[in-house]
Structure 1
């Protein structure tokens, strides 16, 4: 608290210096009406909290002081919460760094024995397959299948980590989207045939060209289709649709008539390592009905969609199937879009 009129400097000047020393302090000024312009300027500049006109009323003075104390407490509490938030954020950043480092190291440590296992089983098949019994062949096939699933998991873990570290280095090229979608579906034909499933394509002629990273875009569609295959009963029909979304974007949908997802789980689907099932009964597989991964596929999908500047959403109900839809910017001139081959 300070009087406005003093011998060496004014109260406004004093409280201005006080603010520089203790920004959190609540500053009050006593003044006569003759000084009101300087006081108003000081209030507008944030140098003082309130002024008290002389002569003051004791009840009013008490009320102003109480307000000043409350204001000071709010400032101190806000500063404490900001410090706490910053500390928590630093801890989260460090935890994410350690998690990413662990996944990177673990993935590399797993890669070597997996590569050896797959290499040895392949050598065995080349040298012993003709003389092996059906039982022995079955053992080796199961070993090889398990090794390939583990190799796929390791690859997805590394992709997830590296997308966070190097996510802005997309290899964007003008790409004919119709061709790319059909290529992904063709690559998954063995899985579809094994489950007696079919895919209907609803690709609009105006789909055209977009500026995408073809490898990452293929990963998006592949992961969505693999999920659809796994959670659709044998004989089911999946649907892939794509077309323009406004003048500058394209929209893709992957729909299945499968088991569906609980509404409460939909908001967590794209989180890394999220699983919507009892982990005690987990079983993995490439395409078999109900088989599950470790919760990285959809996280990668969301990451790669967002790297393209897009968004993704899911609509699903238990027993009624699921529809995943994502939208990405086209990123190429309209003239180039219309020049795409049909």
Structure 2
């Protein structure tokens, strides 16, 4: 008899997660071989042994779902083997292979082994495959039922434990809900923008946060049921008057008093209430307006630069013709008139060149030694018409000071500081321009005026973009912020101090440039 174990391994079904194993027990090698050949089409792992002891060893070593045993075998018969399998592994499905004449085997198998199916010899291949498939399915059904019964038992025990603890859990849940409501209320009130839940199209308050109460001028405990009247919820506009569309989220700007509000509405789907959020956008709109104004002024500056560039050509022609005519023999009056023409043209040319130099956009790499006193002189020349218009005294206190900087950008700082000083003094006053050395490796320039000075409450904001104390239309609030940016880009700084006569003093410190003599010594 052959004692070797033969196996063929594949899954039972394409959709079956667990692997199924079939054990064939028959002392006839030809029968076992025939069964293996037929069961190749059954997608399961097939093991075969020639006797009952070998089958028991396999069952003890690994899981098996179906045992197919011949009835007549030497030693332990098939019925005895299947009876022991039933006692030791009751979930394993048992199939008896027997001849149709073995009625005794059928009776014993039914009474003692409680077999699942009979397979008659000789068998039909299709019937054999269906029988084996049914036995395997039955095993997994029994296995799943056992698992479900165990799970149901566990769930029942868990439900009993939960029922015993239900009162305690309900109390804990109630406390948690109270805490959640308190946290929600704290978060609701912590929102900085006014927010309210309203009904009746936004006319009646159901609930609102602390910011809404402050803006409406109402105590927070009196908000519930508050209705919109002509006052429009205090400082807030009434949403019902904002023409907000119904049926979906919407937003609309509303001007109320001196403030501009962005009103957003978010309706609830299941209830006739709406969440309304207010946002004060007055400052944002003002900043946007000033940005548009700054862009417009930048475009005007570029246009002025282009116009100045175009004026250079006719000015050159005027100078050339005036010089040619002055060389001819003319009367003294003509010569004097030609000299006046040349002087006026030269003055116009200097103004145009200054405008071009001031309006030209400097490149980052255009830095070199810049004499600070010359920066002031160029700025004074640009502002000569304004200086003549009032009774201004300009005091120059120049000491040698050469900065490593961009001349055009420094000229922009000087012009801005001078313009601010002249405007602060009104029609008359005294301006002191100072240049000189500062800390080691740095130089400074300063502009001091005899105006009213800078109030302490605005001193910390004067370098902020768009902050200005000038009347509407007379300033963009960008001059000092541009000066601050230029000074920072040069590795320097700008600050405001109190002048000796209670005026304002702006001090700019910059990195010093190496002297030409030092560079020549190093080169030689």
Larger RCO of the pair (alpha carbons < 8 Å, separation 6+): 1
Shorter-chain TM band: 0.3 to 0.5
Q: TM-score, normalised by structure 2?
A: 0.31
Please tell me whether Structure 1 or Structure 2 has the larger radius of gyration of its CA atoms.
2
TM-score, with structure 1 as normaliser: 0.46
Structure ranking higher in strand proportion: 2
